[in-house]
Structure 1
Amino acid sequence: MSNKKMFAMNSLRRNRQILGSIFLFVLILLSSNSLYSQYSKVPGSFDKTNFQLLPAYRDAALLTATRTDFTVTMRDGVKIDCLKFVPYAAVPVGGWPTVIMVHGYGDNKETLAKFCEAQAQYGYYTMTFSVRGQGNSGGLSNLISKVEMLDLLELIDYVRADTADGSGPNKILIMGGSQGGILPYRAACNGAPVKTIITSVAPPNFGSSWIENGSIKMTFLWTIEYTPDTARYTPLVDRMSDWVYANTKEKWDSLAYWVPKDRDFLNEIPNCSVPMLVEGSWQDKFFNSADIMEGINSLTVPYSSYIGAVQGHGGDHSDAEDIWHMNWFNDWFFYWLFDMQNGALDHPKYQYASSKFPIVNNYWSFVHDSSEVPLSEVSTNLRLYFNKNSKLKTTAGGNSDKINLVNYVSGGLTMQQAVDAEFTGANFNNKFRKAKLTFDTEPFMVNTEFTGVPKFNVQYQSNSNTFVQINYQLYEIMPNGTSRFITRANYTDRNYTIKNVKKTANFKGQGHSHIISAGSKLRVVITNLDTAPTDTVFMTTNPFVLPILANSTHAVYLNSQSYLELPVVRSTGNLSTTFIKDDNENNNPYSFELKQNYPNPFNPVTTIEYTIAQSNKVEIKVYDILGKEVKTLVNEFLEAGAHKVVFNASELSSGVYFYKISSANFNDVKRMVLVK
């Protein structure tokens, strides 16, 4: 066994970690410290994830449930290790309500055995299994691919045919998180004959999400580094960790091609024929919630969705959201399994929760909300430019302004050494220096919610001739100086082959919803090592994405090509007025304002000043007292900021005139007097 695999084995045995969260709230005390184990270096006591028990089939005492262990032979001869629990009672007409539970990556059927038993005691036929290449099932894991999805379809056929043991072929529900949510989700897009599916932290393009924007998530490496006692990989998947450690252009190209291949299934979503309940976490350390949003937007079947406080994959916990979850799940179960017309489909399809201060038990507080339209459509972008003097403004800096991000690496540090050291310790710190550049807004004048996907544009130049990585972290800074990490974005240029070439990139960050409190600042940190204080519980000392281990200096330009677009939803004030108190030339560039002309009265020339809050088309027209248009002064696209126009009325008669500005959703009219 290689040193790499031996190290991974020791780490895994030392710290088993939960992979996927299905349901957050503690409704039953049947938790396990390794329900969805997926990584090697996170404390084993980190998370406890519970399946919610579905509502009881009937009002009666708990039933006795009988366990049966068995195998099902797949199309290629692989035997899948299964178990089922059946209530010891008369089978109702049509069979028992039936639940199939699917475990997270690196676990096995025993992880969910107690949950299956408890659910069966409520009057359900329940079944779970060890996914191919995991637990005692045969075959090799192809890392949550079409192969494993086809296995699930065959297992569904087994359950549907098991009516002699009480299964209900027309009332089957499948539920799971991460791997356990991805496989049912894809099966639903490939003709799975089930009543409904509940999927958690499971985006349909999860393969791409693991390596998005050219950046390799630490959780991806952990997932492909299990030892054979936990997961047995196909030869292709087994090579992927070697490609990661190689840290070369050639091996990156292999990852970029093979990781999404046969795993991403976003293009299959329109084929989904099964009603879906979908949930995700804004703080997911595996997958981008933006990808869950994209999948939801492609569904054409009945569905309900939630993104917010979901603990799976490292998200925060919220008691209030747990209570809401309980009612949400129960309504869905009753509607689809018991045909109760409870209005489950009448609620807004897009439920979400926004993080905000104060911090409670080291978690954000959350505010629940909902939308009738996709969350990608509820916001207006607030563009914030990176400026000199560590400022984030709504106006751009000069074209030549720039700042250096130094990626100091020495002593031949390799990725294997960094991973083995968990990116800490004297040797690592001597060979790698974390650098960060900080940019702050002025204080927000009102509570401001952003919901959706922050996007970044950056212009950069480097003395590297391999890779360039630029990571962004968003923090809220309270008036008393207290700071808290919100979300992030990562970008790695894997094609920077010529030194000192100026390039521009545009990329998405992690989806999130957060309410910035009035008086707080938004801080953006640019860094070469994406570790944040609140990551330590889940990631310990490891970074969110693997860094680039090449000594280099990257110049980030502070001009109109380097900015953040924040998807602002609303504030307690007017969306078309001030969000940020900016110190730019004593004008607030994020205010719409039409000023009184001067001089007034005038003969025949006067000046009109105005400010626009965002880059947009602007029209300023002049009308006479009867409302007839007599002059167009402005009709063009202008950048946000302060502007002025000179009006020469030499061709007009004396009298009262009006001038009107229109830009975005802003309109204003003022009166002026021409005296000749």
Structure 2
Amino acid sequence: MHTLAVLALVGALQCTDPPVPPGGFVLDEYIDQPVTLSDGETTTATLRMPRDPAATCGWPLVVFIHGLFGTQNGPANFARDFAEWGYATVTFDVRGHATASGDHTLWGLRERLDVAEVIEWARASFPGQVATDRLGLAGTSQGAILSLGAAAWAGQPIPPNPWTAGSFPDVHAIVITNFTSDFGASLAPSGSGLHCNIAATLLGSTSAVRFDPGLVADVARSILDDDPALWRAIVEDPQRTPLALVPTITTPVMAMAAWDDYWFPIEPMVEAIEALPPGTPRKLYIGTGGHSTPNTVGEIALRDGWRRLWFDRFLKGEANGIDQGPAVTYSRTPADPDVYLNVQTSWVQSQAEHWPPPGNWPLRLHLRENGQLSAGAPYAAETPATLAQHVASGFGAAELIATEFRLPQIEPDLPRVQLEWKSAPLPGPVLLAGRPQVQLSIDTADVQWQVAAALWDIDENGNERYVSSGVHLVHPQVGPAPSQVLLQLGSQCYEFAAGHSIAVRVSNVLVHEPPTGPLLRYAPTLADFTLQIRHDPAALSFVELPVAGDAAIPYGFSQSASAGCSARLSLVGSASATSLDPVLVRAEDVIPARDGLMIYGLGPAQSPLGGGSLWVAAPVKRTQLINSGSSTQLGACSGLLQFDLGPRLRSGLDPMLSVGSRVYVQYWYRDPQSPSLTNLTHGLQFSILP
């Protein structure tokens, strides 16, 4: 543990707080107290604490900071609960909001000074009752950004300014929700992207926040002058973003985020947690409860419980175990939109030491001509797909600002264009846990454009479910147009069901489309462009899904047998080189009493053979003949082909089956009543484990 975390625990252990009575402490509330800030502006703050006498060291203090557009009433329930549990709590109106005077500078130095000065106000106004040497901060969105900033600058000298001097206060624990630590990656992707929500917030006619007029003018100028460097300078201002200081934070950090958060993708938050020094206590939850996501009762209860345990641990010194065990808990996103939107449903949870969980394998599906998404790469050049954007005459930056970046107002002048590639129905479920990515090989003569890719789940009836998306933007001020782009989609934990198809949609704009509704995430490019999406051996385009490395993943599709059978492959047991248990590669739903064999190799393919497809790339190996057994009296498709791969892979005689290899298998069997006289199953891929 690093210095601040140790000091927090030492201080907490040296102070014995009164036990929390059943039903909690009775409170004293000092509501809407005036606070004068060092630049002469004012705000109001509310302090709550138990009416009972505090220990000699005072009540540990937690400051709850509200989100953008909010007021101190937003986190008031949290503040009351914590006061009942034996804390002093403060809420206040952030500069430019509600009762607070002054102009908001978008989480800059002035807002950070305000947080420090409100903390000092609490200490000075309630001497002996408030323990600022046991200080916690908590907040969502804006509140989380300011809390993280307070931890990042904790104990450091205040930068030169016209108002005050000294040092920022030490912070002993933070709990932060739905935020970003990297404003550049979140608000200006590819160096030229413009986050629609922040732009609409700053430039909109109905904003509830009073922003600094100079900031608003600069943002407008960056759009009107098509100057991404100015926009980057605003959002990447080192006085605004704590990114560079995150690796120095020693304050214990609990962070929580949602997969489908429209404002802030989770990746910068995950990267911030991973960048903390090794000894800094950290805890991470990923699931729901973010901007534009459902507040599922069970998930919110978990988050609320964790918040109390974290502060009890580091501000009161309680050994409650919250800082033990795996650092990451993540929930699986329900595939059924009705389940997703029902706040009473439970989400399946998993744990890992890091996100993404270790041991993932990239399941690659290639974008092929005619809209096919296939495990097999193209063998020859195929006809490219064309993505063309046309912007109506007269629709420029001023008109875009007037739409307040709303998709329905933009589309009449800048239509959304989409291309789709879709897989065959999956022969078995596919669980992704990590960050998908899409590589696109592109031919274009244009120098300013953007391309977005979205991952979709399509069921047997054509019902569609958005999963994740990402974007890449090209601007001449940032650099030359690449011939190949790798789009990092948003992280997810999501299962595609058997019988569903995986689809990739490539578009000229990035629209975030979870079941809660579509929202335009980044502003469109205000120029015509044409992109040729290539798929040929020299210029591959594909999607990669992170799947568990120890899972067997089905791919392709089975040939329909003369009896109507459609074989299903599975792996029974673990493909371990050291275990003595069987490793059964099994094909069910095949014709009884037929000879067959298993084919395996080290790569996927998709090449027609007879009436089916060969799903294993050359060179391939074959097993001896196997009979499917059973009889037609037990069912026309009651046969079973099964091969125990264990002895072969443990013998060490086949280099294809060495530890770490990714193996691709399928079955061939005789079907004399079919026109091709044979049958080929779908493919199955898995890794050889130690």
TM bracket (short chain)? 0.7 to 0.9
Letter in 2 for 1:581: G
| Match of residue 132 from structure 1 | 95
1:111-510 paired onto structure 2 within 5 Å: 111-113=74-76, 115-117=78-80, 119-164=82-127, 166-191=129-154, 192-213=169-190, 214-225=192-203, 230-243=208-221, 245-246=223-224, 248=226, 251-262=227-238, 263-300=240-277, 301-310=280-289, 312-360=290-338, 363=341, 366-375=347-356, 377-397=358-378, 398-399=380-381, 401-418=383-400, 420-421=402-403, 429-465=411-447, 467-495=448-476, 503-510=483-490
Tell me, what secondary structure is at the counterpart of 2:656? strand
| Match of residue 611 from structure 1 | 601
Determine the C-alpha separation between the residues in 2 that align with 1:346 and 1:367: 21
Is 1:512 aligned to 2:489, yes or no?
Answer: no
- TM-score normalised per structure 1: 0.73
| Match of residue 24 from structure 1 | none
Aligned-pair CA distance for 1:158: 3.5
Q: C-alpha deviations, 1:278-314, integer Å up to 9, x for none? A: 111111111121111101101231111101112x211
- 8 Å CA contact 1:356–1:516 kept in 2: the answer is no
- 8 Å CA contact 1:57–1:124 kept in 2: the answer is no
Letter in 1 for 2:387: L
Is 1:549 aligned to 2:526, yes or no?
Answer: yes
Is 1:565 aligned to 2:544, yes or no?
Answer: yes
Aligned-pair CA distance for 1:59: 2.3
Aligned-pair CA distance for 1:508: 1.7
- TM-score normalised per structure 2: 0.72
- 8 Å CA contact 1:67–1:85 kept in 2: the answer is yes
| Match of residue 656 from structure 2 | 661
Determine the C-alpha separation between the residues in 2 that align with 1:536 and 1:60: 37
| Match of residue 610 from structure 2 | none
With 205-214 and 361-370 compared, the bigger mean Cα shift is at: 361-370
Change (3 A) 1:133 1:330: closer
Q: C-alpha deviations, 1:495-520, integer Å up to 9, x for none? A: 29999x77222232222221222222
Letter in 1 for 2:462: G
Determine the C-alpha separation between the residues in 1 that align with 2:244 and 2:476: 27
Q: 1:642 is matched with which residue: 617, 622, 627?
A: 617
Determine the C-alpha separation between the residues in 2 that align with 1:198 and 1:504: 40
Determine the C-alpha separation between the residues in 1 that align with 2:436 and 2:496: 14
Aligned-pair CA distance for 1:432: 2.8
Determine the C-alpha separation between the residues in 1 that align with 2:76 and 2:334: 37
Determine the C-alpha separation between the residues in 1 that align with 2:558 and 2:525: 37
Q: C-alpha deviations, 1:74-118, integer Å up to 9, x for none? A: 454444443323443333332223221101123333444565345
Determine the C-alpha separation between the residues in 1 that align with 2:225 and 2:502: 34
Q: How big is the alpha-carbon RMSD for the aligned residues of Structure 1 and Structure 2?
A: 3.8
Q: Can you give the 5+ residue segments of structure 1 that lack an aligned partner in the other structure?
A: 1-54, 596-607, 616-639, 647-655, 669-676
Letter in 2 for 1:156: I
Determine the C-alpha separation between the residues in 1 that align with 2:213 and 2:405: 28
Determine the C-alpha separation between the residues in 1 that align with 2:452 and 2:271: 23
Aligned-pair identity (%): 21
Aligned-pair CA distance for 1:428: 5.3
Letter in 2 for 1:557: R
Change (3 A) 1:431 1:266: closer
| Match of residue 41 from structure 1 | none
Change (3 A) 1:244 1:514: farther
- 8 Å CA contact 2:33–2:44 kept in 1: the answer is yes
Q: C-alpha deviations, 1:170-219, integer Å up to 9, x for none? A: 33321101110011112112224233111001121134311213432211
Tell me, what secondary structure is at the counterpart of 2:426? coil
Tell me, what secondary structure is at the counterpart of 1:66? strand
Determine the C-alpha separation between the residues in 2 that align with 1:163 and 1:120: 15
Change (3 A) 1:195 1:240: same
Aligned-pair CA distance for 1:609: 8.2
Determine the C-alpha separation between the residues in 2 that align with 1:609 and 1:109: 65
Tell me, what secondary structure is at the counterpart of 1:223? helix
Q: How many residues are matched?
A: 555
Letter in 1 for 2:369: K
Determine the C-alpha separation between the residues in 2 that align with 1:146 and 1:498: 31
Letter in 1 for 2:619: K
Letter in 1 for 2:275: S
Change (3 A) 1:644 1:317: same
Tell me, what secondary structure is at the counterpart of 1:643? coil
Letter in 2 for 1:386: L
Change (3 A) 1:454 1:77: same
Determine the C-alpha separation between the residues in 2 that align with 1:98 and 1:57: 16
- 8 Å CA contact 2:371–2:420 kept in 1: the answer is yes
Change (3 A) 1:298 1:421: closer
